[in-house]
Amino acid sequence: MKPSILKLAAELEQQGQGGALCTIIESRGSTPRHTGSKMLVYADGNFAGTVGGGELENRVLREALQAIADGRPRKLSYNMTDPAKGDPGVCGGQVEVWVEPILPPEKIVVIGAGHVGRAVAHLAKWLGFSVAASDDRPEFCTPEAIPDADEYYPCPMSELPKQMVITPRTYLILTTRGVTVDIEGLPALLETPAGFIGVIGSRRRWSVTEKTLVEKGIPAALLKKIRSPVGIELHAETPEEIAVSILAEIMMIRTRATGKPMRG
């Protein structure tokens, strides 16, 4: 017996993967499927179940993929009367579909487990993020060194995408010890769907890193995905202050805020 759509959706959530559950919430007149029919759409475009097939299902599928990308649920309404007017069918009824994204947990990955990395992990955990720590020096990537992390990846940065699942809800924060480490590891990170890649350091440090990566053949347009120097301008100096600056930028982006003072 095939597993139910709800069971598949629960498994998807447990695995930390993205998807969208599409449910017919109202069906009037003649329609391909009845109220309560469900379709589970995976992030790669595959799906299980059906909301009616044909052009109707094709449109719902497109909307579901967009919901996975932007994280927003949506209610879709379709007439099934006249394709010449843009309707997805000729059955004669009307159908409403609720599309609910199943989002993987938001995760902050601290790459470089020094003083700043430890402070970023601590604040991120306090803010409710899932936290992972990574460093190519195994002695720095332990529960003793970074007690607030949930996961540990003691490996070179270039190997990290092979070790963990990186989704559009993953925030990669590079608090590494130098330009050389960033140059060696960033190309692999740029190939992932990470929603945020931030690199700590001065403008000069990033300028050197960017120039070298371009010389190595990384497209300049791809490097625009990287935010460096990462953080909001707070004149931060201590590791804790720098962590506040970095997390403030992440919060600004995830909530689509402006970062301007509220009294303004």
Question: Do residues 153 and 132 touch, judged by C-beta distance below 8 A?
Answer: yes
pLDDT (0 to 100) of residue 89: 56
Q: In whole angstroms, what is the distance from residue 119 CA to residue 243 CA?
A: 6
Whether residue 114 lies inside any domain: the answer is: yes
Q: In whole angstroms, what is the distance from residue 122 CA to residue 235 CA?
A: 20
Q: Between these two residues, 126 and 81, which has the higher pLDDT value?
A: 126
Whether residue 3 lies inside any domain: the answer is: no
Question: Do residues 52 and 37 touch, judged by C-beta distance below 8 A?
Answer: yes
**Number of compact structural domains in the chain:** 2
List, for residues 21-37, the tens digit of each pLDDT value: 999 999 887 777 789 99
CATH of residue 219's domain is: 3.40.50.720
Range of the domain at 111: 107-254
Q: In whole angstroms, what is the distance from residue 208 CA to residue 226 CA?
A: 14
Query: Are 77 and 111 found together in one domain?
Result: no
Query: Are 55 and 37 found together in one domain?
Result: yes
Whether residue 26 lies inside any domain: the answer is: yes
pLDDT (0 to 100) of residue 172: 98
Task: Using a pLDDT cut of 70, give the percent of the chain over it.
Answer: 94
**Domain end marker among 102, 117, 149:** 102
The pTM (predicted TM-score) of the whole model is 0.77
3-state secondary structure 113-156: CCHHHHHHHHHHHHCCCEEEEECCCHHHCCCCCCCCCCEEECCC
Whether residue 191 lies inside any domain: the answer is: yes
- Per-residue pLDDT averaged across 50-61, rounded? 86
**Domain end marker among 69, 87, 102:** 102
List, for residues 111-159, the tens digit of each pLDDT value: 999 999 999 999 999 999 999 999 999 999 999 999 999 999 999 999 9
